Amino acid sequence: MAPRIDGETHTFVEHGLYDGLFLMRDEETGTYWDHMTGEAVYGPLVGTSLEVANLRQTTVAQVLGASPDAMVALSDRTMGEDEDLQTQGLLARVGSRLNAMFSATVKEEDTRRPTMDLGMGIWQGDVARYYPYDHVLQAGKAVIDTFEGRRVLVYLDPAAYALSALYVEGDTPQWDGDVLRLSDGTYVEGGVVYGASGSKTTVNRPLQVFTRWYGFSLTFPDTEIFEAGR
C-alpha cells in the first residue's frame, strides 16, 4: 500500500482491529485504511483508495536473481529449521486458533474453510479466488486456472515455502527437481521466470496474498474457492 494521498506522503500506523485484521490509520487525516485493498473504510477520506502492489513471501536470493541491483536490508534475527516452517512457511508459526483479541472483532465468519486455513488469495476489483494450500499440494504443488479471462499459475515455491501466483501462456506444469516447466518452454527457477530461450522474462502477477482463510474471506465475502480436479 503506497502511503501517498494526493501526491503527499503520509504516516501510517497500526491502529486497531476489524474482522480480525489490523487497520492502518494515517496520522495526518485520521482516516482508517484496509491494508489489503487500500480502501479508506472510516474517516474523512472514505470513498478513496490508495495504490496497492504485491508484497510476496520470498528470499534474498530470489530478489537478487530477479533484480541484481536491488537494495537488501538484512536482519540479525534468524529463523529456526523446524519442519512446519519448511513446509508451510512463516505463517505456520501462527497458532491453529485465532487469538481471542482478534476473534472478538469478527462478527460472522465464512465457514466454507477452517478459520486458520492457509492459501493463496488473488483478486481483481471485487472478483476474488482463494486457492487452499492443501488443494495445490494435491494437484502436484502447481495448478493452472483461468481467472478473469487470463491463465494463471499457482504453485508452491520450493525455496520460500509459500504459494505464489503469476499469469502465464503455457499450461501442463511439470516439476524438474525444483524447476517448474510449462508447455510453452517457460520455466520458473529460484523464483525467477525464464522464457523458452532461457532468458529472464517479464512477469505479470495478479494482486495476491498468501494468507489465512478468515482474513481473505472477510475482506472478499464473495470469493470463490478453487478445488483441485474441477
Q: What is the pLDDT of residue 155?
A: 97
Q: What is the pLDDT of residue 74?
A: 78
Tens digit of pLDDT for each residue in 60-85? 888 898 889 999 887 887 765 555 55
Rounded Cα–Cα distance for residues 111 and 129 (Å): 16
Q: What is the pLDDT of residue 72?
A: 85
Q: Which residue has the higher pLDDT, 46 or 93?
A: 46
Cell of 1: 500500500
Q: Which residue has the higher pLDDT, 52 or 84?
A: 52
Rounded Cα–Cα distance for residues 2 and 55 (Å): 11
Within the chain, how many helices (H) and strands (E) appear?
Answer: 5, 17
List, in sequence order, the alpha helices (H) in 108-188.
133-138
Tens digit of pLDDT for each residue in 98-150? 888 888 989 899 999 999 999 999 999 999 999 999 999 999 999 999 999 99
Residue 94 has pLDDT above 80, yes or no: no
How far does the chain reach from its first CA to its final CA, in angstroms?
Answer: 34
Residue 91 has pLDDT above 80, yes or no: no
Q: What is the pLDDT of residue 66?
A: 85
> What count of other Cβ atoms lies within 10 Å of the Cβ of residue 218?
20
Is residue 73 within 8 A of residue 65, CB to CB? The reply is no
> What's the predicted TM-score (pTM) here?
0.88
Residue 96 has pLDDT above 80, yes or no: no
> What mean pLDDT is predicted for residues 144-157?
97
44 Rama sector, left if φ>0, alpha if ψ -120 to 50, beta otherwise: alpha
List, in sequence order, the alpha helices (H) in the chain.
60-66, 83-88, 100-103, 133-138, 213-219
CA dihedral 53, 157, 136, 54 (to 10 degrees): 0
Report the candidate in 187, 185, 125, 200 with the shortest Cα–Cα distance to residue 155.
Answer: 187
Tens digit of pLDDT for each residue in 171-222? 999 999 999 999 999 999 998 999 999 999 989 999 999 999 999 999 999 9
Stretch among 14-23, 43-52, 69-78, 82-91 having the lowest mean pLDDT: 82-91
CA distances from 56 to 11, 154, 158, 160 (A): 22, 13, 14, 10
Rounded Cα–Cα distance for residues 175 and 179 (Å): 6
Is residue 58 within 8 A of residue 191, CB to CB? The reply is yes
Is residue 142 within 8 A of residue 156, CB to CB? The reply is yes
Residue 226 has pLDDT above 80, yes or no: yes
> What mean pLDDT is predicted for residues 28-37?
94
Beta carbons within 8 Å of 144's beta carbon, 6+ residues apart? 151, 152, 153, 168, 171, 172, 173
